[in-house]
């Protein structure tokens, strides 16, 4: 079931599918006869369809680009669905099916969604051809933090949520790279609606259990390319865990000298390397 609506000045650029009586937004563009690149956003990214644009617009002639916006993200509904990793993958798969988009897919997870990408390949291996990590998280990172550290991070999101509701997070930086004036206007509206919402908090509360499940299930057997940041915006041992995961899974690593949102800073390099990797 496809539904198209406008809400509070929001003008989505994709299509809606209905999951559990709520809307999930899917954007697709590019060459429909080419391999399918499925972008998966990190935690708290208010508008994935705009967040990834600086990168995917450089890939449209060579690939079909798909961006799924989870509940609480982008133009999708603010709906407190289950955030255990298997439920998240179930929503992705159902949404793609309802939109008539068939696999197999090459997953491009950023940050937290690395867990979803690994688990998807573990659970439905025939649906995933490869994984391209955009500074994607690996289970060991969250396992090393443990529950106490993750509880602190969750409490920080809750504090920021309260500030956002009072209009006091006006200083929060929004990436504008590769965006038109209209895109930026939409991004600001989505930040106002989505910023620090309960879906992000629920994800944070589930992240350790999700990491334990993904870690327990074992390695993945597919081509993997990992773009890795300098680690300064995440944690001191970020690069160490990326390298360990890459070694166990025969992944290729490209080390970048930039921040965690690698696609903001190195979209030219990343797009070129993706084309080489997939060819």
Specify the pLDDT at position 169: 87
Residue 31 in this model has a pLDDT that exceeds 90 = yes
Quick one: pLDDT band at residue 7, thresholds 50, 70, 90?
low
Neighbours of 132 (CB within 10 A): 25
Taking residues 31-45, what's their average pLDDT? Answer: 96
Specify the pLDDT at position 6: 46
Residue 200 in this model has a pLDDT that exceeds 70 = yes
Taking residues 87-108, what's their average pLDDT? Answer: 98
Specify the pLDDT at position 195: 95
Specify the pLDDT at position 258: 98
Quick one: pLDDT band at residue 116, thresholds 50, 70, 90?
very high
pLDDT in tens, 133-176: 999 999 999 999 999 999 999 999 999 999 999 988 877 889 99
Taking CA atoms, 115 is separated from 86, 102, 140, 273, in Å, by 10, 22, 10, 22
Residue 50 in this model has a pLDDT that exceeds 70 = yes
CA distance 40 to 96: 13
């Amino acid at each position: 079931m496809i539904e198209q609506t406008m809400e509070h000045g929001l003008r989505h650029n994709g299509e809606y599918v209905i999951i559990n009586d709520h809307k999930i937004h899917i954007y697709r563009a590019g060459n429909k006869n080419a391999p399918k690149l499925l972008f998966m956003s990190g935690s708290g990214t208010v508008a994935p369809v705009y967040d990834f644009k600086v990168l995917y617009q450089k890939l449209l002639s060579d690939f079909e680009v798909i961006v799924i916006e989870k509940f609480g993200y982008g133009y999708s509904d603010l709906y407190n669905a289950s955030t255990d990793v298997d439920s998240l993958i179930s929503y992705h798969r159902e949404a793609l099916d309802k939109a008539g988009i068939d696999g197999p897919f090459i997953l491009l997870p950023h940050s937290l969604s690395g867990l979803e990408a690994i688990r998807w390949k573990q659970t439905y291996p025939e649906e995933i051809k490869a994984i391209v990590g955009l500074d994607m998280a690996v289970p060991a990172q969250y396992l090393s933090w443990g529950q106490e550290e993750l509880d602190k991070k969750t409490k920080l999101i809750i504090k920021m949520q309260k500030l956002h509701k009072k209009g006091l997070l006006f200083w929060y930086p929004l990436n504008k790279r590769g965006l038109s004036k209209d895109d930026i206007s939409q991004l600001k509206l989505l930040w106002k609606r989505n910023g620090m919402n309960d879906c992000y908090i629920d994800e944070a509360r589930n992240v350790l259990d999700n990491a334990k499940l993904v870690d327990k299930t074992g390695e993945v057997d597919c081509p993997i390319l990992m773009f890795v940041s300098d680690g300064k915006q995440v944690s001191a041992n970020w690069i160490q865990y990326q390298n360990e995961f890459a070694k166990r899974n025969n992944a290729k690593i490209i080390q970048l000298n930039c921040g965690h949102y690698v696609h903001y800073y190195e979209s030219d390099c990343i797009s070129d390397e993706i084309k080489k990797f997939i060819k």
